[in-house]
Structure 1
């Protein structure tokens, strides 16, 4: 049976979560930028965990999905704090952190802060440091000037309405980078990455793997895969990787 509720963040913002009780190591799903906990990958993992009796927890960052707050007020540091609260208050023991896109960055921040709480990490098109290494370099001088002058620029999206890129997001992202120094991860790390991903280039996944100072790191490149990696065959690959990491 799924436990559905909210946790109050430090500023009182309600953070929505869904949790399934079960055996450990538990799984924590960390969603992407402007996504929510009811996406196809999270739902598939939830169904798998329920069937296997595995503990599973997912949530929405502030300004995302069913949580309170405004998306425009969010930063990587703020969303990482939401994730840390969920990890601390809703899970026990080592967890398998499954991070999708931005969730891969959040997972790396959690793992760097509390490696003893990490059983393993699985990144799905992980996008650590994306604001500084993928986003800011691609912006035209006009877009950069708009962000610096107005504090926000609304970026068109292939997935719905334009979304806000704020100056706070960019500046905080610089402070939250994880690939500027070696990451001492002594647990298994797996990366699933589509080679037709137009949001996070596949070479970014290789740079992330290189930044990890640990030997148990594997990158699985899906040549015809896009950023979402949510086709039936992609979901099957995700479930297979999760199953292997749990058994390890």
Structure 2
């Protein structure tokens, strides 16, 4: 396995990344909460991009995967800043592929640097999940524990060990919400969503589609697909969506 390269962000965080050179617009994969750049979707898209001679970038947020830092110290604003520092490695326009939390990070990047966006693919995108899923789903005891102890442990569907949510994650998330104010996406956007996703239900994708404005936005629902969205058919749909966006680019 190829060793990653590293960069140090302006905030001093050490971020691991893999950058495959090629033609632009570059495709950037933004992973999910507690995920990393070794996942099925990231590696599939790297192979797909390499076969096309397309520049491709994947990375780990701080506290994730091979990057430095402690996961519990991080929050949405930190991971957005990490992403912003990493995409600065690539010149020219970008096509962002945001998976789950990565979809929220992609929307923050779109808001911060719309001039660089050539397109976006959201895969079970989870904007504002710290507020609308986590905080809204806590019972009174969990909210009290979070506020008094600074963290709360939640069961995980993906491992036997519970995972910890910090008060800082919730509070910081409120400073980066994207579904409360106008959200302009001035590029082709493809939202891909499984109907069997229990972590980010289809209602989230419908809300995002209804809330955002842009010249070319489409939502595709895949019956029976879950949150991983990583079987062969789902992976092929992601690459087809990217191909559709890139086919409309005169510089692609």
TM-score, with structure 1 as normaliser: 0.97
Tell me what 1:144 maps to: 143
User: What SS does structure 2 have at the residue aligned with 1:109?
Assistant: helix
CA separation in 2, counterparts of 1:3 and 1:36? 14
Q: CA deviation at 1:3?
A: 8.0
Q: Could you tell me which residue of structure 2 aligns to residue 201 of structure 1? A: 201
Structure 1 gaps of 5+ residues are: none
The equivalent residue for 1:76 is: 76
How many residue pairs match? The answer is: 246
CA distance in 1, matches of 2:46, 2:154: 31
Aligned equivalent of 1:226: 226
State the Cα deviation string for residues 221-245 of structure 1 (Å, max 9, x = none).
0111101100111111111111111
Alpha-carbon shift at residue 26 of structure 1 (Å): 0.4
Q: How does 1:41-190 map to 2 (within 5 A)?
A: 41-88=41-88, 90-160=89-159, 161-190=161-190
The SS at the match of 2:155 is: strand
Distance across 2 between alignment mates of 1:3 and 1:183: 37
- Contact 1:30 1:98 survives alignment (8 Å): yes
Give the distance between the partners of 2:11 and 2:23, measured in 1 at CA: 32
Task: Give the distance between the partners of 1:8 and 1:121, measured in 2 at CA.
Answer: 26
- Pairwise mapping of residues 18-57 of structure 1 onto structure 2 (< 5 A)? 18-57=18-57
Alpha-carbon RMSD across the aligned residues, in angstroms, is 1.1
**How many angstroms apart in 2 are the aligned matches of 1:215 and 1:52?**
27
Query: Residues 182 and 11 (structure 1 numbering): CA distance in 2 closer, same or farther, change over 3 Å?
Result: closer
Gaps of 5+ in 2: none
Distance 2:163 2:63 in 1: 12
Q: Could you tell me how far 1:215 is from its partner in structure 2?
A: 3.2
CA distance in 1, matches of 2:34, 2:118: 27
| In structure 1, distance between residues paired with 2:49 and 2:29 | 12
Is the Cα contact below 8 Å between 1:24 and 1:54 reproduced in 2? yes
